[in-house]
């Protein structure tokens, strides 16, 4: 499959039940790590990986995401008039950082269904998918790590992470085979397998590049686990038809879509923050 890779889909239409009541009226993707919402980390990662055509799949109650990437003329004028130049620059940078198209997923029928909602805007081209609540901090942006293998092979590529064997039932888990060329080819995958039945300890962590063939398979995927159209089911079928590769992501990953992962991400990035890191670390040390 040829074609330039500059489109990326962010599914953001989930219900965020693991983070209720915070996510009752505001999107999980707007939860803040230090001073930036998760979705902005995701978009910055995409841009740093050369994917600047962004398709956001949203649902009810997600307007804050659109507003975040929109121009706020009043706010910009106020900051400018008050001489708050750094803030003004940052706020206007966010509003202009990317061209974003919004597509509505009318019912939360699953991640696979959300990705399928973007088909019209992606067309017949390879495309990325990133889950913004999976925050990945890496020297080489995670999507760029996937892109390198996509450019080498022209195939679909999925980001992976090793997980403890007692946690496999929380993830999509792959069965992989090391190829002579050093790449990891995925043979099969299963969503949230029972402990003891997982094909490996390699988990899918919310970063993907797909060939457009995925859309045809998604259209033909029946609801699976939890009655949702599972992305993993369609990808497993894709892997039977054409090579799908896995990349062990080099970086730190936080599942910020649940309170514990969110607090861990804030603790780690908070301590690294140039403005507040030192004070925050002192506070934490005292607390412990
Ligand atoms: P999750 O299962 O992590 O998200 O889906 P969720 O359903 O919002 O959260 P919980 O499990 O209820 O707490 C992974 C990603 O897929 C999106 C979510 O927004 C998240 O980014 N998603 C999921 C959709 O866009 N639509 C869906 O129907 C389901």
Q: 129 CB less than 6 Å from ligand 1?
A: no
Please give the number of the atom of ligand 1 that sits closest to the Cα of 229: 28
Say how far apart CA 216 and CA 230 lie, in whole Å. Answer: 14
Ligand 1 mutation pick, 31, 229, 257, 258, max ligand atoms within 8 A of CB: 257
pLDDT of res. 3: 67
pLDDT of res. 32: 97
Please give the number of the atom of ligand 1 that sits closest to the Cα of 133: 21
pLDDT of res. 62: 79
- Bridge partners (DSSP) of residue 54 are 8, 100
State the number of CA atoms in the 13 A half-sphere of 12 facing the CB: 33
pLDDT of res. 1: 47
Q: 17 CB less than 6 Å from ligand 1?
A: yes
Reference 208, options 140, 143, 116, 123; nearest CA is 143
Instruction: Take residue 103 and report the two structure tokens written for it.
Output: 């597509």
- CA 270 to centroid of ligand 1, rounded, Å: 26
Reference 56, options 123, 107, 10; nearest CA is 10
Reference 165, options 173, 155, 177; nearest CA is 173
Q: 131 CB less than 6 Å from ligand 1?
A: yes
- CA 285 to centroid of ligand 1, rounded, Å: 35
Q: 114 CB less than 6 Å from ligand 1?
A: yes
pLDDT of res. 134: 97
Task: Say what the alpha-carbon torsion angle 239, 244, 247, 248 is, to the nearest 10 degrees.
Answer: 10
Q: For the chain, first and last CA: distance in Å?
A: 53
Reference 235, options 220, 254, 257, 217; nearest CA is 217
Smallest CA separation from ligand 1 atom 18, residue: 14
Instruction: Take residue 68 and report the two structure tokens written for it.
Output: 């975040």
pLDDT of res. 226: 80
pLDDT of res. 99: 87
Say how far apart CA 60 and CA 25 lie, in whole Å. Answer: 9
Q: 15 CB less than 6 Å from ligand 1?
A: yes
Ligand 1 mutation pick, 111, 132, 134, 234, max ligand atoms within 8 A of CB: 111
Q: 22 CB less than 6 Å from ligand 1?
A: no
Ramachandran sector of residue 34 (left: φ over 0; alpha: ψ -120 to 50; beta: rest): left
Q: pLDDT of the chain along its 288 residues, tens only?
A: 456 899 999 999 999 999 999 999 899 999 999 999 999 999 999 999 999 999 999 988 778 999 999 899 999 999 999 999 999 999 998 888 888 999 999 999 999 999 999 999 999 999 999 999 999 999 999 999 999 999 999 999 999 999 999 999 999 999 999 998 889 999 999 989 999 999 999 999 999 999 999 999 999 999 887 889 999 999 999 999 999 999 999 999 999 999 999 999 999 999 999 999 999 999 999 998
pLDDT of res. 110: 95
CATH architecture of 7-287: Alpha-Beta Complex (3.90)
pLDDT of res. 175: 95
Inter-CA distances, 266 with 16, 256, 270, 272, Å: 18, 9, 5, 10
Smallest CA separation from ligand 1 atom 14, residue: 111
Q: Among all chains, which residue has been given the structure tokens 């039945």?
A: 197
pLDDT of res. 180: 82
Say how far apart CA 258 and CA 17 lie, in whole Å. Answer: 9
Phi, psi (degrees; rounded to nearest 5) at 261: -60, -35
Q: Got the DSSP string for 90-153?
A: HHHHHHHS-EEEEEE-SS---HHHHHHTTHHHH-SS-EEEE-TTEEEE-SS-HHHHHHHHHHHH
Question: How many helices, marked H, and strands, marked E, lie in the chain?
Answer: 11, 13
């Amino acid at each position: 499959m040829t074609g330039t890779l500059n489109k990326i889909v962010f599914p953001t239409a989930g219900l965020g039940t693991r983070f209720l009541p915070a996510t009752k009226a505001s999107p999980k993707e707007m939860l803040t790590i230090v001073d930036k919402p998760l979705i902005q980390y995701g978009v910055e990662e995409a841009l740093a990986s050369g994917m600047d055509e962004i398709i956001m799949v949203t649902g009810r109650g997600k307007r804050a995401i659109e507003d975040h990437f929109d121009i706020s003329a009043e706010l910009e004028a106020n900051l400018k008039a008050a001489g708050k130049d750094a803030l003004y620059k940052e706020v206007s940078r966010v509003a202009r950082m990317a061209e974003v198209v919004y597509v509505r997923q009318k019912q939360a029928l699953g991640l696979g269904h959300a990705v399928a909602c973007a088909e019209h805007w992606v067309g017949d081209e390879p495309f990325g998918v990133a889950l913004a609540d999976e925050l990945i901090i890496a020297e080489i942006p995670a999507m760029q790590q996937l892109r390198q293998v996509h450019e080498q092979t022209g195939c679909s590529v999925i980001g992976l992470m090793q997980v403890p064997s007692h946690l496999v039932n929380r993830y999509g888990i792959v069965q992989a085979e090391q190829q002579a060329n050093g790449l990891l080819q995925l043979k099969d995958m299963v969503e949230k397998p029972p402990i003891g039945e997982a094909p490996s300890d390699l988990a899918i962590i919310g970063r993907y590049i797909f060939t457009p063939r995925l859309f045809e398979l998604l259209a033909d995927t029946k609801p699976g686990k939890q009655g949702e159209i599972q992305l993993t089911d369609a990808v497993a079928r894709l892997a039977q038809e054409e090579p799908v590769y896995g990349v062990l992501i080099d970086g730190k990953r936080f599942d910020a879509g649940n309170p514990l992962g969110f607090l861990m991400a804030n603790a780690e990035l908070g301590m690294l923050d140039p403005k507040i890191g030192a004070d925050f670390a002192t506070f934490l040390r005292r607390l412990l």
